[in-house]
Amino acid sequence: MPDSSLETLKHGPASSGVNDLILKRWSPRAFAAKPISKHNLRKIFTAATWAASSYNEQPWRFLLGIKDDPDHGEVYKKIFSSLVEFNQQWAQSAPVLYASVAKKTFSTNGSPNKVATHDVGAASATACLQAIELGIHTHGMGGFDADTLRASFAIPSDFEPVAVWALGYLGDPESLPEHFKEPELAPRSRKELDEFVFMGWGEGITF
């Protein structure tokens, strides 16, 4: 299936009235070998820093690995090694892997930041939207070993690994192992609003 056809299939419904940039974002597993320029990577991570955070702590940290890059290639290998085997099967095609990490305390007084991982998620979402504006896709993964990542990078105890992300241009689904092809080519769906927007707990609101 050509890239344009797959992008059309995965596009959220325009009838929702949601911004097109949001509707275009999805999480492929097939990535092209095409490298991502340092200029575009800078844009993506600069976008992340403009996310909202509690007390403007900006608790996000990102470990950036670029495949076959003389400066970032070892970082890529370390991040890849932390992935569970299921994710390694497809993530090996991504030209960029990065890990998100949250600072668990506030810098001003050392008190616990209970929303640190939430704020890292907000920064990650902002990065995803900037990426899709550039025609670049992301795929976030919870399937990784945090202890392996921590040991590989000597991450301090005050920081918590949150997720690993694959980043790249859309590739050919036919390049994937067989068991990944069906979900890659299937339409997307989302819950109805009354399943998660409530007037009282479990009482769905209607607009």
pLDDT in tens, 3-62: 689 999 999 999 999 999 999 999 999 999 999 999 999 999 999 999 999 999 999 999
Cα distances from 10 to residues 69, 163, 173, 184, in angstroms, run 31, 23, 13, 9
Asked if 69 and 37 touch (Cβ cutoff 8 Å), the reply is no
pTM here is 0.94
Per-residue pLDDT of 128-138, as tens digits, reads 999 999 999 99
pLDDT at 206: 85
Mean pLDDT on 65-70: 95
Mean pLDDT on 171-189: 95
SS3 content of the chain, % helix, strand, coil (to 5): 40, 20, 40
Cα–Cα nearest to 131, from 2, 37, 17 = 37
Average pLDDT, the chain: 96
Mean pLDDT on 191-202: 94
Residues ≥6 apart with Cβ < 8 Å to 85? none
Domains in the chain (CATH in brackets) are 3-204 (3.40.109.10)
Mean pLDDT on 90-110: 97
Give the whole-number percent of the chain exceeding pLDDT 90. Answer: 96
pLDDT at 191: 95
pLDDT at 180 over 90: yes
Rg, Å, the chain Cα set: 18
Q: Is 34 left (phi over 0), alpha (psi -120 to 50) or beta?
A: beta
CA atoms of 147 and 202, how far apart (whole Å):
37
